[in-house]
Amino acid sequence: MSFLVALPVLLPLLAAALSLVAGRSPMVQRTLGVVVLTVIAVVAGVLLVEADSAGPVVLKLGGYGPPFGITLVADRLASLLLLVSALVTLAVLIFSVGQRITDFGRRAASTTFHPMYLMLCAGVSLAYLTADLFNLFVAFEIMLASSYVLITRRVTARRVRASMTYVIVSLTSSLLFITMIALVYTATGTVNLAALPEKIAGLPPGVQSSLALLIVIVFGIKAALVPLHFWLPDSYPTAPAPITAVFAALLTKVGVYALIRTQTLVFVHTDSWAVLLVVALLTMIVGALGAIAQNDLNRMLSFLLVSHIGYMLFGLALFTVIGLAGVILYVVHHITVQAALFLVSGLVTRHTGTVSLQAMSGVAKAYPVVAVLFAVPALSLAGIPPLSGFVAKIALLQAGTDVGTPVALAVTAGAVVTSLLTLYAVTKIWAGVFWGKPALPEPDPDPNDDVTVGTGSTSGAMLGATGGLVVVSVLIAVFAGPLAAMSERAANDLLHDEGYRSAVLGQEGR
């Protein structure tokens, strides 16, 4: 069973190389990408069942274990996020093919999209599965390199400025990351996640706190925590809708995953962390208020993305089983919902030719299917029952009230207020985009591009991919019971890490 752990990383890397060779055959590239991502989803499902029933599945590459070998681990948390991420990347790829951003919408195919997209998927998989800090750094660098290529497609002056902001901030966080790895290795002599807890425990308390705070800053930049979020609303909205969708769904969540893994496995927290709770509250409120102030649909969704990262930080900062289970539920919910909303934004842009709320109206009357595809994930994001967002938020609110400290209760109240602000924001989108009489579409800014906007022409692949993600978000609510039980088991694994550590440091992987 252990060989399956390598497939989510190796298959997209090999497929990226083959896709580059097959650059003159768009059909081969598309088929290769869809097949590989489908296989990864199946593998992730198998790993999740195995990890849930028998414990972490471990692969030691070349037979070399820690501290010299590279170890990949699929436990409950990593396998669950890998499965959801594979489904999202598959849906976004299908949408991209339907929208034809894979070849700029022109008759001549582009050789870069599919290889870079598959490289991005490989980086995400490696981030979930790696068992050491250095290979986590490698995963982030793979994602950075491929995402830079994807975000700069169809270069314009605005996109170049936004991509420069994205790259400068990402490189700064990477510099801090490698510095943090050097400090950790100097202090402990290892970067293996399973070996670090005992080493870190032997350090002076001040050194432990400093390293923990540095890790929060490094991954906080990548997860877009306030006040480290400024780059995201300026970068993501400039990319094509499918690229923004996969960035919003996955790249920030990988940062959240890294925070969860390091703060629960490497550092010992006997009670809630007040500083992290305050940052969570600021992230929720600032992001929600920023969204309300926007007139650009994509910028509004980007600020809502920032806001709801605060919910995940809230549950993590509590350091309880219920809190971490709520975080896991919320991450799974948010990956699917946020991707669906950005894909709907792509559909709306195709119909209206603009992202300005003031220039849109009447989409619900002209294209009711698009209105339904927006309404379900938007209401879920706002936490309206019985959708998936409501289930995840209830778990977090319960965890906050159970802890009962003044700071925890304040953040719990802030989470309720943020839900109301989110509801106001999505209502503002509904009133501006979907209500009223249909507006005349804006002219296509690039008449030489076959990807025309403002025509109302959407392919079945675009609608099907978006609808598929909406269905997945509904299924999360339908199967909330089993999923919550699995999330609670995964949360218990995070707070009681003996199984993970023994699996990684043991002599043999399964």
Q: According to the model, what pLDDT value does residue 83 have?
A: 96
pLDDT tens-place string over residues 120-169 = 999 999 999 999 999 999 999 999 989 888 887 666 667 777 778 888 88
Distance CA 441, CA 202 (A): 64
477 has pLDDT over 90: yes
| 3-class DSSP state of 446 | coil
Q: Which amino acid, one-letter code, is at 174?
A: S
Distance CA 469, CA 249 (A): 11
Q: How far apart are CA 361 and CA 338, in angstroms?
A: 22
Mean pLDDT score, 444-450: 44
Do residues 456 and 323 lie in contact, with contact meaning Cβ atoms separated by under 8 Å?
A: no
Angle at 383 between CA 382 and CA 388, to 5 degrees: 120
The pLDDT, as a whole number, for residue 482 is 93
Kind and range of the H or E element at 72?
A: strand 71-74
Mean of pLDDT over the chain: 87
3-state secondary structure of 247: helix
Rounded to whole angstroms, how far apart are CA atoms 362 and 438?
4
Length of the chain in residues, anyone?
A: 510
DSSP string, 96-151: HHHHTGGGTTSSSPPSSHHHHHHHHHHHHHHHHHB-BHHHHHHHHHHHHHHHHHHH
As a whole number, mean pLDDT of residues 67-91 equals 92
Q: How many CA atoms lie within 13 A of 441 on its CB side?
A: 17
Q: How confident is the model at residue 446 (pLDDT cuts 50, 70, 90)?
A: very low
Give the pLDDT band (50/70/90) at residue 254.
Answer: very high
Is the Cβ–Cβ distance between 41 and 83 less than 8 Å? yes
Tokens of 437: 């009489």
Q: How confident is the model at residue 367 (pLDDT cuts 50, 70, 90)?
A: confident
pTM equals 0.91
- Per-residue CA distances from 251 to 202, 288, 397 (Å): 33, 20, 26
